[in-house]
Amino acid sequence: MTSSEAWFVGDRAQNLAIVLLTRFPVSVKRETNNDRGLDLRAAVDPDKPGFREFGVEIKGTTRISQLVDQHHHVHAERIRASRRLLKDCPFPVAVMVFDVTTDEGFFGWLLAPVVSGARAGLAEVDPVSVEPATNETIAQALSQVRNWYKAGPWRI
């Protein structure tokens, strides 16, 4: 893949993610300082004061089998570097994978928001499973993040 093709695939995947996320009452910001490996930050309650966001890493391809296997797991080598960068991340981090030739998207968690009783934490998911990025999937993910913040995450 030439650099112009790689740029197009990455840009197209990021734009698809933004379109999908902004169907909901969230604000999305592109990460320009990409030292943490995140491509986007999404604030789930942009009208409320405080810190209520999650990160999104985006992967794009012209053949989904390059990134996702037949069991809907993201190939481990594709997210290995992300894992190292996210070790001390204080908020949930999703991964969105897009086939830019079909606009088919998938959603999963790298650092999943977990609520257990009155405690909230983050779980590193391994392997990273993804499911089709439908409106229902995204709505459920946003609800998970909101519930995580309501429970008062202990990792922050």
Q: What is the pLDDT of residues 95-113, one digit of tens each?
A: 999 999 999 999 999 999 9
Chain mean pLDDT for the chain? 88
pLDDT at 4: 56
pLDDT digits (tens, 9 = 90+) for 21-71: 999 999 999 987 666 578 999 999 888 777 789 999 999 999 999 999 999
* Residue 155 confidence (pLDDT) above 50: no
53 contacts: CB under 8 Å, gap ≥ 6: 41, 42, 43, 44, 91
CA 57 to CA 67: how far, in whole Å?
Answer: 13
Output the pTM of the full model: 0.89
Domain holding 68: CATH number? 3.40.1350.10
10 contacts: CB under 8 Å, gap ≥ 6: 58, 60
Structure tokens at 99: 């086939």
pLDDT at 66: 92
Whether residue 34 is contained in a domain is answered as: yes
Does the bond joining 127 to the residue before it have cis omega, within 30 degrees of 0?
yes
Whether residue 155 is contained in a domain is answered as: no
Whether residue 128 is contained in a domain is answered as: yes
Whether residue 33 is contained in a domain is answered as: yes
Whether residue 156 is contained in a domain is answered as: no
Q: Which residues of 125-139 are buried (b: 16+ CB within 10 A; e: fewer)?
A: beebebeebeeebbe
Whether residue 28 is contained in a domain is answered as: yes
